[in-house]
Structure 1
Amino acid sequence: MSSTRWTAGDVPDQHGRVAVVTGANTGLGFETAKVLAARGATVVLAVRDVGKGTAAAERMAGDVSVQRLDLSSLTSVREAAQALREEHPRVDLLINNAGVMYTPRETTQDGFERQFGTNHLGHFAFTGLLLDALLPVAGSRVVTVSSIAHRIRAAIHFDDLQWERSYSRVGAYGQSKLANLLFTYELQRRLAVRGAGTVAVAAHPGVSNTELVRNSPAPVRAVMDRLGSLLTQSAERGALPTLRAATDPAVLGGQYFGPGGPGESRGLPRQVASSPQSHDLDVQQRLWTVSEELTGVRFPV
């Protein structure tokens, strides 16, 4: 993979392609969807708040629509996937971007810890229910947005996935972002075994200035308020790794993209490495099995 300077101007023409972007009414998802729509893709903003999604769509040029999707509700996930399959029998890009970060200990409508339930299980189920629309499409991709936090106090706590014994908002977020990578790599392995034309890729935005930090501990917010411009990059720049993973013709399944600057915190996108535990095959397969059991979703691969 070339490490040459890659910007939004390098996104190829997307006419004729259908892209579904979760959490696309603000931040990284908005910037990702905006570029894809401007390049000619038919873009669906899959968002929890339809009003905010509609307002976001009105700020984009191109063929943009809105689909309600609450990743913290498996009922909503199933309804959204069904509606999308009816409206778009073929999908070229599924970008699993939405997420919550450092929330207080809360549960989803299905009783899952909110960060794990939203960031991983919701996207796991949504992908499984939409995959039949991607598999027949040559060059289709599933792009899942992880984080450098997959290295921070991160492990898959199979003995307490829902953090019922004790809760760490940092540890729970790290678990969810590690799960995003384990899911991507296991999905790619299954797609490759099938010989599918669909690939699974991951990306992370570095340290981007988005609404996600609103639930951060007070000391973190204080540092961000004072030094944010030095430590972070814009959402527009933070979306570039996702855009490269989704559209660069040279991308291969199982790759991971992030900013190319020091510590992968900012900079133009390039292929990066993830933690050794994200490549643990036994953990990948165990998490997959548990995720199927918790969501009731079985993949066609």
Structure 2
Amino acid sequence: MSAEKISMPDLDGRTAVITGANSGLGLETAKVLAGLGARVVLAVRDTGKGEAAARSIEGETEVRRLDLADLASVRAFAEGWKGDLELLINNAGLMAIPKSTTEDGFETQFGVNHLGHFALTNLLLEHVTGRVVTVSSGLHRLSRGIHFDDVNLEKGYTPYRAYGQSKLANLLFTLELQRRLDEVGSPVLAVAAHPGYAATNLQGRTGNALEDRVMGVLNKVVAQSAAHGALPTIHAATQDVPGAFFAGPTGLFMNGAPGPSSRSSVARDAEAARRLWDLSEELTGVSFLL
């Protein structure tokens, strides 16, 4: 299936920001949205790689620096933003890496995948006119809940435990963001997506040689392409879906055409979503400003 087979809107004159758009799912998403007429801003940590990626995109693009592991960088990006923003696509992420911390002292996967995007979204929200799309993962099911008493996993870090928690946080963030948008009567939608099993440069970084080799083999044998993996994000960004919608592949082995995706019961827990929001405000110093 290709994006061309989906009924797509005309995004001429609209602006989209995509985090982590220099490669993988973000780059493929940027190519499609630019092809629909959008001005696409590639929000990336390495602007050199961002410029190289922009040259591969047919359409209007701009590259801006954004390091989600540094809240000062997030604030600088938001402070420099002017004008309307149709789509904010929180795509950037890290997957199952050895233990480390961000510039602000947070466990890196939670800090980048969730807290950085939480801060970015709230700081830009007054400019957003359309949707906030946050990329989660089917592996959010690895987490049985947010470790509120040890969110940095000081007492039991493993690469996939941290990844699962961060991807669960993405879904709880989307749920609570939509509730808050509804509460103030905003027309903006908060939605989420996951790529299924797509071969990108995220995998194979656990630091465990055997696990990384196995992942490399699976990427070649089972995984779909990054272009196909981006389709759920594009679906969530462009199709007629309700708030808090979760898009994903609908075929076997987390492949296939995009459509509604299921989430764990923990990811539907409204109280946990509110509690995570409060914690995220405390940790980032950023609040819901609408």
| Range class of TM-score, shorter chain | over 0.9
1:284 corresponds in structure 2 to 273
Structure 1 position 115 matched with structure 2 position 105: no
Shift of 1:120: 0.1
1:160 corresponds in structure 2 to 150
2:255 corresponds in structure 1 to 266
1:101 corresponds in structure 2 to 95
Asked if the contact 1:73–1:110 (Cα under 8 Å) also holds between the matched residues in 2, the reply is yes
Shift of 1:219: 3.0
Q: Structure 2 unaligned runs (5+)? A: none
Asked if the contact 2:38–2:60 (Cα under 8 Å) also holds between the matched residues in 1, the reply is yes
Q: Deviations over 1:158-186 (max 9, x none)?
A: 01001122311110000000000000010
2:196 corresponds in structure 1 to 206
Within 1, Cα distance between the matches of 2:155 and 2:263? Answer: 28
Asked if the contact 2:204–2:211 (Cα under 8 Å) also holds between the matched residues in 1, the reply is no
Shift of 1:8: 4.1
Q: Deviations over 1:242-280 (max 9, x none)?
A: 0000011x11111100011125x1111011111100111
Write the mapping of 1:191-270 to structure 2, written as runs, cut at 5 A.
Answer: 191-216=181-206, 217-248=208-239, 250-263=240-253, 265-270=254-259
1:128 corresponds in structure 2 to 122
> How many matched pairs?
288
Task: Give aligned-pair identity as a percent.
Answer: 54
Asked if the contact 2:176–2:277 (Cα under 8 Å) also holds between the matched residues in 1, the reply is yes
Normalising by structure 1, report the TM-score: 0.93
2:162 corresponds in structure 1 to 172
Asked if the contact 2:144–2:266 (Cα under 8 Å) also holds between the matched residues in 1, the reply is no
Structure 1 position 90 matched with structure 2 position 84: yes
1:15 corresponds in structure 2 to 12
Q: Deviations over 1:95-119 (max 9, x none)?
A: 0000011111100000000000000
2:63 corresponds in structure 1 to 66
1:141 corresponds in structure 2 to 131
Letter in 2 for 1:285: R
Q: Structure 1 unaligned runs (5+)? A: none
Asked if the contact 2:175–2:244 (Cα under 8 Å) also holds between the matched residues in 1, the reply is yes
List 4+ stretches of structure 1 deviating above 4 A.
Answer: none
Shift of 1:220: 3.2
**CA RMSD for the aligned pairs?**
1.3
Aligned residue for 2:105, secondary structure, equals coil
2:48 corresponds in structure 1 to 51
Normalising by structure 2, report the TM-score: 0.96
Letter in 2 for 1:75: A
Q: Deviations over 1:106-142 (max 9, x none)?
A: 00000000000000000000000000001xx3xx000
Within 2, Cα distance between the matches of 1:154 and 1:27? Answer: 28
Within 2, Cα distance between the matches of 1:23 and 1:161? Answer: 24
Shift of 1:6: 7.2
Letter in 2 for 1:97: N
Shift of 1:152: 1.2
